[in-house]
Amino acid sequence: MGDWWRTGVVYQIYPRSYADSNGDGIGDLAGIVAHLDHLAGRPDSLGVDAIWLSPFYPSPDYDFGYDVADYVGVDPKFGTVADFERLVDACHRRGLKVVIDLVLNHSSAAHPWFEASHASRTGPFADWFIWRDSPGRSLMGGRRRPNNWRSFFGGPAWAWDDARGQFYLHTFLPQQPDLNWRNPEVREALLGVVRTWLDRGVDGFRLDVFNTYFKDAGLRSNPWRLGGRGAWSWQRHVYDRDQPELHPLLDELRAIVDERPGRMTVGELFDGTLVDAAPLIAPRHLVFDWSLITVPWSAAAFKRAITARDAAFGPGRWPANVLSNHDQPRAASRLAPPGRDAAAIAEGDARAKVAATLLLTMRGTAFLYYGEEVALRNLSIPNAEAVDPPARRASFLFPWWNRDQARGPMPWSAGPGAGFSTGRPWLPLAADAARRNVDVEAADSASVLSVYRQLLGLRRASPALGDGDQDLVDQADADVLAYVRTAGDGAAFVALNFASRPAPVSLPAGPAGAGWRVRLSTTGRALAQDVSERATLAPLEALVATA
Ligand code: NOJ
Ligand code: CA
């Protein structure tokens, strides 16, 4: 009860794309510090509780920072360790927590550990990565690989290294070799990284693909299966992720983190289901389970997703709710109706407000992705022009979405460079940046940004929304999703109309017979109005009432 990471809202920043302080077209730590008023500390701030920074470590950027060449450094393009410490101070002064991304499944091939490991089969780092001999030649004369594992980023998971005359394992790009977590020295070094960042004041960690740290000790081949699109799905991934050794490691990691009370961790579930996610959720450890991030615009589909998760997690596990991140299409695009005319755009924004209401009022910790608060859409960048490396490797065997589209520069203002940069942004600005930006939306009380602010304020003020239980309330209209959140004597009722026509909603009795009072409506319904038993929702109206 009362833990900040339960009731709180975490705002993900992709540092390359947030704010560029020196005109090189790439966002940086000083840029983030200059924009903290947007996030917290002022009456007109968004009012989030924490930021999560995607990687800012030195990196050759084969996977834009998710290939780390120094776990305790800051890449010069983002600033210095002193800049990071300034950022932490500036955040803490305004009551904002700082969560950082730890990429501990793999390093960059440019990390000195891998350079040493590949240079010598007998040196001190020889066993820091997962090296294997080739089991011989195939009939065609090629070197056979140690097993049938695939890379999630296309092709086999094994790359040949001439220097060692062996294969090494890479679950992602060949430039991202997997670390050998079974080596106690690796374990000690990586837990040391956790301690270093705790000493630097961080409040939590997002653990990249944490359920794939351990692979089967015997590196057995995965069983084949009839799959969907792409070679990855033609295997059952029973040996290359979700191994039992992860559980004691998580306990050890949590014990280290718990030496400083109030720190949280959230693990990114790699390619798994709700059933894989559930046992990995622990006190103060959340898991991104992806239940909501692919759900289409449909009340019934969201209801199914929520029900399935409740069934898998039970009442004790606390969910992490996410509609967008740096790997997936932006929610405002995914949920929008087809078309680019003014009506379709207005309807897309109305849907974004409904989605925001769902995200910020449903049970669980909410994670926002920068730009989501202005309903930023995907950029349109063809695969041929992609800078996202897996998009460049896409093929029939490896279908891949171009993640550049979700990583566009944050639009701050209508001025040149949208207030993001005075130089040439590393990815293009959104075509509508002059209209869709923080300044313009801040001045409009009916904007998507204003709805996010109101929702965050309401969530903070309502223990039922922050920490309460949740019960779906059945509705006669299939386009309406409704639920009640309850904590102690407080309750909140939420109704979401997914249809572009009015829809009836029936309300349950309030606790102890109390009536419901409207606290928020995304379509301008008068606040403080009493609603009870039956009401009519406006087209695409999201309504929150409290009792
Ligand atoms: C998950 C990250 O979110 C993604 O961006 C990255 O490419 C992979 N892990 C590999 O680190
Ligand atoms: Ca910069």
Q: Determine the Cα–Cα distance for residues 198 and 32; give it in Å rounded to an integer.
A: 20
pLDDT at 529 over 90: no
Best CA proximity match to 264, nearest among 358, 365, 192: 365
What tens digit of pLDDT does each residue of 30-57 get? 999 999 999 999 999 999 999 999 999 9
> What pLDDT is recorded for position 413?
98
Residues 509-514: contacts with CB within 8 Å, 24+ apart? 510/547, 511/486, 511/547, 514/547
Q: How confident is the model at residue 2 (pLDDT cuts 50, 70, 90)?
A: low
Question: pLDDT at position 542, please?
Answer: 98
| Ligand approaching nearest to the C-alpha of 208 | 1
Mean pLDDT (whole number) for 58-81: 98
In angstroms, what is the span from residue 324 Cα to ligand 1's centroid?
14
Structure tokens at 245: 């050794």
What letter does residue 515 receive in the DSSP assignment?
A: P
What local confidence, expressed as pLDDT, does residue 320 receive?
97
Q: Which two tokens stand for residue 426?
A: 């590393």
What is the CA(426)–ligand 2 centre distance, in A? 10
pLDDT higher than threshold 80 for residue 284:
yes
pLDDT score of 533: 87
The DSSP H or E segment spanning 204 is: strand 204-207
Side-chain half-sphere exposure of 249, counting CA atoms within 13 A: 25
How is residue 503 written in tokens? 């829809």
- State how far the Cα of 482 lies from the Cα of 474, in Å rounded to an integer: 7
Is 195 a residue whose pLDDT tops 80?
yes
Specify the residue with its C-alpha closest to ligand 1, atom 3.
Answer: 327
- Cβ 30 vs Cβ 71: under 8 Å: no
Q: Which is the closest atom of ligand 1 to the Cα of 105?
A: 11
Distance from residue 424's CA to the centre of ligand 2 (Å): 10
Do residues 374 and 411 touch, judged by C-beta distance below 8 A?
Answer: yes
Q: Which residue has the tokens 């301690």?
A: 195
- pLDDT for the residue 1: 45
**Residue whose tokens read 């065997």:** 397
- Cβ-based neighbour number of residue 17 at 10 Å: 25
> Ligand 1: which residue has its CA nearest to atom 5?
327
Say which range, 279-283, 357-361, 418-422, 448-452, has the weakest mean pLDDT: 279-283
Q: Chain centroid to CA 518: how far?
A: 31
- What does the radius of gyration of the chain's CA atoms come to, in whole angstroms? 24
List residues near ligand 1 (CB under 6 A).
Answer: 63, 66, 103, 172, 208-209, 268, 326-327
Summarised one tens digit per residue, pLDDT across range 373-399 is 999 999 999 888 999 999 988 888 899
Nearest bound ligand to the CA of residue 19 = 2
Largest Cα–Cα separation, the chain: 78
Mean per-residue pLDDT for 305-314? 96
- pLDDT band of 68, cuts 50, 70, 90: very high
Residue range 461-481: average pLDDT? 97
Q: What are 238-256's pLDDT values in tens digits?
A: 999 999 999 999 999 999 9
Ligand nearest the Cα of residue 26 is 2
Residue range 80-110, pLDDT digits in tens: 999 999 999 999 999 999 999 999 999 999 9
Closest CA to 291 of 222, 363, 241: 363
Cα of 208 vs centre of ligand 1, distance in Å, is 7
> Could you read off the pLDDT of 420-441 as tens digits, one per residue?
999 999 999 999 999 999 999 9
Quick one: three-class SS letters along 320-370? EEECCCCCCCCHHHHCCCCCCCHHHHHHHHHHHHHHHHHHHHCCCEEEEEC
Q: Which atom of ligand 1 is nearest to the CA of 403?
A: 5
Closest C-alpha to ligand 1, atom 6: 66
User: Exposure pattern of 349-363 as b/e (b: 16+ CB <10 Å)?
Assistant: bbbbbbbbbbbbbbb
- Residue given tokens 């920074």 in the structure block: 53
- Ligand at minimal distance from the CA of 16 is 2
Q: How many CA atoms lie within 13 A of 214 on its CB side?
A: 16
- Does 289 have pLDDT greater than 80? yes
What are the residues whose beta carbons fall under 8 Å from the beta carbon of 406, sequence distance 6 or more? Answer: 324, 325, 326, 327, 328, 329, 330, 369, 378, 379
* Pocket probe mutation, ligand 1, options 56, 241, 327, max atoms within 8 Å of Cβ: 327
Work out the mean pLDDT of the chain and round it to a whole number. Answer: 96
Question: What atom of ligand 1 comes closest to residue 325's alpha carbon?
Answer: 3
| Mean pLDDT value across residues 459-485 | 97
* Top mutation candidate among 61, 101, 170, 208 for ligand 1, by most atoms within 8 Å of CB: 208
Query: What is the bridge-based pairing of β-strands 50-53 and 158-161?
Result: unpaired
Alpha-carbon distance 264 to 196, whole Å? 16
Q: Which run of H or of E encompasses 497?
A: strand 490-497
Binned at pLDDT 50, 70 and 90, residue 211 comes out as very high
3-state secondary structure 436-492: CCHHHHHCCCCCHHHHHHHHHHHHHHCHHHHHCEEEECCCCCCCEEEEEEEECCEEE
Alpha carbon distance 197, 184 (integer Å): 20
How far, in Å, is the centroid of ligand 2 from the Cα of 29? 8
Q: Which of 14, 99, 103, 151 to mutate to test the pocket of ligand 1 (most atoms within 8 A of CB)?
A: 103
CA dist 261 and 238 (Å) reads 35
The residue nearest atom 11 of ligand 1, judged by CA position, is: 66
Distance CA 452, CA 47 (A): 9
- Residues annotated as catalytic are 208, 259
Atom of ligand 1 nearest to the CA of 63: 7
How far from the centroid of its chain's Cα atoms is residue 286's Cα?
12
Tens digit of each residue's pLDDT (9 = 90 or more) over 392-421: 888 888 999 999 999 999 999 999 999 999
Q: Please name the amino acid found at residue 189.
A: A
Expressed in angstroms and rounded, the spacing between residue 334 Cα and the centre of ligand 1 is: 20
* Residue in the block written with tokens 């968004």: 46
Q: Whose CA is nearest to atom 2 of ligand 1?
A: 208
For ligand 2, the distance from its centroid to the CA atom of residue 409, given in whole angstroms, is: 12
Residue 104: what are its φ and ψ, rounded to 5°? -105, 0
Residue 250 has a CB neighbour count (10 Å cut-off) of 19
Residues in the chain, overall count? 547
**Tokens in use for 129?**
């990565």
* Average pLDDT score over residue span 454-464: 97
Residue nearest to atom 8 of ligand 1 (CA): 66
Nearest to 379 by CA among 353, 357, 402: 402
